[in-house]
Amino acid sequence: MPPKQKSQTWMELKQAGNECFKTGQYGEATTFYDKAIKELEKSSKNNPEDLAILYSNRAASYLKNGNCGECVKDCNKSLELHPFNVKSLLRRAAAYEAQERYRQAYVDYKTALQIDCNIAAAHDGTNRMTKALTEADGLSWREKLPPIPTVPLSVREKLTQQNTVNTAKQNPEPQQNGTRQTEKPAPSDKDIKKGQALKEEGNALVKKGEHKKAIEKYSESLKHNPTEVTTYTNRALCYLSVKRYRDAVKDCDKALKIDRSNIKALYRRAQAHKELKDNKACVEDLNNLLRVEPKNSAALKLLQEVQKKK
């Protein structure tokens, strides 16, 4: 009798699935991931994060084969095991988009951007969903959205730490005065609460028309939480009111680094560019805004004004 072949471990099966996926053999990849999931579920060393990755990988294979229903199911399982897994969110969003479930896709793309604001696929997906939902539901489309979950600070901090470690491994930075430069840590819950309170004080001052005092409050708020987009766009509005147009542009630049499809940042930067006589930059910002919200009446009106002056 020939010797009995040793069964493959879940890691070997996962690797085989990865190799098939890389070469476009998505059906075969699905089969290997399926076997890997079964092996890992039987194992006494069953780690939820490992299992979540396998479900996410199988979801990617289903998505490539056009099986969006199974992709969504696997992403749901992956996200139950490992909440806020970015790859699972993006794969589920793509599957929802293919099924024309645009509201659910929008929520997943926006959730992914809360975790990492630099994901180009999530920005592009958000823009496509905004356009599709505006066409379907009109300007009130946001009112019909399911709730967008708030990503806990701990999840964002963990990702920041991982990115910092990966960057340090790939690009070791030069030392200054014998110490290694490091990225600024994510703001703590205490800082976020303090920043929010100061921002609200700034908002109250804006309502009273006290824009200079509001600028001070927003500036204090940003010292506590420099990742809050609306604080930059609110301060930009104040800078516009006191005719500090270049400062308004800088704040909008910062806001758009965090969320490159932010409507207020694009519109306020366009207003600042108009006042600075930079019509080309103004039109570019308005066109970018209108790609996100094609029926934005304020942007359409400003675009008309600027184009008349050419």
Q: Report the pLDDT value the prediction gives residue 12, as an integer from 0 to 100.
A: 93
Considering the segment(s) 188-309 as one domain, its CATH architecture is Alpha Horseshoe (1.25)
How many angstroms separate the Cα of 279 from the Cα of each of 253, 267, 268, 272, 284? 17, 13, 14, 10, 8
Eight-state DSSP code of residue 68? H
Exposed, middle or buried: residue 143 (CB in 10 Å: 0-12, 13-18, 19+)?
exposed
Count Cβ atoms below 10 Å from residue 17 Cβ, excluding itself: 27
Tokens of 220: 């204090």
What percentage of the chain carries pLDDT values higher than 90? 55
* Domains 10-144 and 188-309 agree in fold: yes
Which region among 3-12, 172-181, 229-238 has the lowest average model confidence (pLDDT)?
A: 172-181
Do 56 and 78 contact (CB within 8 A), yes or no? yes
Do 134 and 295 contact (CB within 8 A), yes or no? yes
Greater model confidence, 188 or 212: 212
Q: Report the pLDDT value the prediction gives residue 170, as an integer from 0 to 100.
A: 43
Residue-range domain boundaries for the chain: 10-144, 188-309
pLDDT tens profile 168-198: 444 444 444 443 444 456 667 788 888 889 9
110-119, 242-251, 260-269: which has the highest mean pLDDT? 242-251
pLDDT above 50 for 226: yes
pLDDT tens profile 28-76: 999 999 999 999 988 877 788 999 999 999 999 999 988 999 999 999 9
What is the sign, positive or negative, of the torsion defined by CA atoms of 149, 151, 152, 155?
positive
Q: Report the pLDDT value the prediction gives residue 29, as an integer from 0 to 100.
A: 94
pLDDT band at 210 (very low <50, low <70, confident <90, very high): very high
Contacts of 80 (CB under 8 A, 6+ apart): none
- Give this prediction's pTM: 0.56
Does CATH number 1.25.40.10 belong to domain 10-144? yes
